[in-house]
Structure 1
Amino acid sequence: MNSNSPLPLRPLPTTQPRFPWHHFSMRFSSTPRGARLARRLAGERFDTWGIPYGSDAHDALTLIVAELCANAVRHGLVPGRDFRLRLSAEGAALRIEVTDTRGERIPALTQPSDVPDGDGEGGRGLLLVAALADRWGWYPCSDGPGKTVWAVLDLR
């Protein structure tokens, strides 16, 4: 090899995270239609971020969004006020936040033994979130009335 020939190119080792930093935030009407739209837009956003439709991670994330948005509509409704969905991805962790304007209705995890038997509706949403997410919780809004319920899923 002479000194004028270029060195062969080798790919550099990467320590790049699974996801670059991504963020999505939008307000939705506090109606079943608003919750459905939030779920669909979140599903599209996850696919755009590299979590393909039909994958276990996509299904889990979409179900978490659906449950938190449905709870915001059902339990956090203040007439005339919207709820806000925030999604963020950094590294291999995805965070979902849903903010409503009803701060006095605090989310509480129902124990599996407290869930009614049969096909009744309700009482299982946060159990699903707790089962699917690596961690979840809530905090009061600092800039006005309301609360934010959040869940994090680590995809490592």
Structure 2
Amino acid sequence: MARSVRRADLKAVGEVRRALRELVRHRCRGETAEVAELLITEVVTNALVHTDQGAEVSATVRAGRLRVEVRDHAARLPRPHVPSADDGTHGRGLVLVQALADAWGVDPLAMGRGKVVWFELGAAGAAAAAGAARA
């Protein structure tokens, strides 16, 4: 799956989420798909809200793993932080990615031309793996 989203086009977030849902529908467990939709929403929204340009979104399923990448054109690297109680819901996106993804990261692009924020989930589902570990 590959999509381009225009600057400040928050309606595109739902379109990207639906495209991801279609990609993972027969390839990932239900729990993984739900987590993936939440995380892609957070990462794409961050790219649109915190940069002056659009973003490129891609998602692939290979070797039992879902990988989502969001490329934007801002060189400033994001950092997860826990907001104070009076911040409402602002600032929790990367904290969710950090907590729910099997792996995630930020890769700066050469010469300050932006970055790629990415996350990975096991296509079998982190919840299934956690349940098996408890058994």
How does the TM-score come out when normalised to structure 1?
0.71
Correspondent of 1:38 among 13, 16, 24: 16
* Consecutive aligned runs of 4 or more in structure 1 exceeding 6 Å deviation: none
Aligned residues of 1:95 and 1:151 also touching (Cα < 8 A)? yes
Asked whether 1:63 is paired with 2:38, we answer yes
Amino acid at match of 1:132: L
| Aligned alpha-carbon RMSD (Å) | 1.9
Q: Which runs of 5+ in 2 are unaligned?
A: 125-135
1:144: how far off? 7.0
Aligned-pair identity in percent equals 29
Pairs aligned (count): 123
1:121: how far off? 2.7
Asked whether 1:137 is paired with 2:96, we answer no
2:127 match: none
Q: Which runs of 5+ in 1 are unaligned?
A: 1-23
Q: Does the C-alpha gap of structure 1 residues 144 and 108 become closer, same or farther in structure 2, counting only changes over 3 Å?
A: closer
- Larger RCO: 1 or 2 (CA < 8 Å, sep 6+): 2
Correspondent of 1:51 among 28, 48, 54: 28
Amino acid at match of 1:138: V
